[in-house]
Chains A and B, each alone.
Chain A
């Protein structure tokens, strides 16, 4: 067995430090080591996007990253965006617009949508569809996911304009 390495991560604002085999995949670190189970394991082949997390300001598929590569990184998962005590506007809009059915893809969808809206706060429908192309949903047919993201963008922009 290869020797373990010392890893430090910031996950949802909290410092984490542990020893791990370099081959540990970031999705396993999050789910099994840290108990952060929002990011899901879907295809495990970097196609479906269920494992999407935000790493250093970029959306990444945590199933296709070694924890060694992530050493030193700042990571945000769906848990870092909002929860039962205070939903993020994207979470609220996904609920309001029925942007989910089984919910399996939703954490990855919302985490990706969050980064998309950081980069492009007022996207067109086409830009949303292009920007969300790395996340697959087998239930909704995407219509309501796109609606939810556009509605969240509108609310975020209206709030900003009012401030």
Chain B
């Protein structure tokens, strides 16, 4: 499995990286951890003539927890997410999810930016970012713009990011309340058969707010507004969970593949969401 030849570039600042993309055009792709791109190149399903490696771009590194927001550089790895104490205190949902991604070796290399920017519905971070209402900063030749994670995904590997833009940073308002990321997978390192991200707030005995997103159950991540709304004002009991699951099932569109037929995936999605709601409620 020998990947196709390419020319290699390792810029040391974001302006140079963006400049290289502008100069090289369609022939160029950025590479972060490479754990999605390199397998695709080995299969010759991707044959970029130029790779722009982002590993030395300082502006894309680091996690900042300040006030009511968290900022995560695109080149932060899953392992960095897991080991950052301040982040684990601010948004424990991120750590819970990152621990369920791939395996230790892949988490040392795989980046958050790559995970959200690739547009692969199997990736866990996109649904998670929609649940958290994160914003992505896209940096291109004419400057930077912010896009909500909930508006970023258009279709399979198709996103709001233009070819000459780099997803440089993720900004998240620190959420309150209970959380859970629940994932069903066939084996370590596999993508989800179904996964659910849940954030809940409790006032007295009832749910005051809820955000629910599902992974790998459509060609894009699914933030199910209706599923969240089905919980609000309820006691989060069995009836409310059933209503939320029914609302979620109306929003997903899974396809049959080697993880199972459609009916199975819908079944698993319901089980996983019910578990995630229960765990988030127990922490709210």
Contacts and interface: CB of A to CB of B under 8 A. Distances in A.
Contacts of A52: 105
Nearest to A134: B103
Contacts of B38: 46, 64-66
B1 A44 contact: yes
A3 to B, nearest CB: 7
Given A46-B35, A46-B39, A64-B35, A59 B6 contact: no
A112 B108 CA distance: 12
Q: Which of B79, B102, B104, B105 has the most CB of A within 10 A?
A: B105
Interface in B1-42: 1-8, 10, 31, 34-35, 38-39, 41-42
Q: Which of A46, A68, A112 has the most CB of B within 10 A?
A: A46
Nearest to B42: A44
B103 A133 contact: yes
Contact of A23 (B5, B55, B103): B5
A22 B106 contact: no
A59 B53 contact: no
B105 A61 contact: yes
A66 B189 contact: no
What class of interface size applies to chain B in its complex with A? Answer: 20 to 34
A22 B108 contact: no
Contact of B4 (A23, A47, A59): A23
A110 B79 CA distance: 20
Interface string B181-193: 0000000110000
Contacts of A2: 5-8, 49
Nearest to B39: A45
A49 B105 CA distance: 8
Contacts of B3: 23, 25, 66
B34 A134 contact: no
Given A44-B1, A66-B34, A58 B7 contact: no
Interface in A113-133: 116, 130-133
Interface residues of A, number: 31
B224 to A, nearest CB: 30
Q: Which of B35, B38, B42, B79 has the most CB of A within 10 A?
A: B38
Contact of B105 (A1, A45, A59): A59
Contacts of B4: 23
A69 interface: yes
Contacts of A21: 5
Given A52-B105, A112-B104, A133-B103, A68 B53 contact: yes
Contacts of B39: 45-46, 64
Nearest to A64: B38
A60 B35 CA distance: 11
B109 interface: yes
Interface string B35-79: 100110110000001010101000000000000000000000001
B41 to A, nearest CB: 8
A23 B34 CA distance: 12
A3 B7 CA distance: 7
Interface of A: 1-3, 5, 21-23, 25, 44-47, 49, 52, 58-61, 64-66, 68-69, 71, 112, 116, 130-134
Cβ-closest 3 pairs across A and B = A134-B103, A22-B8, A58-B108
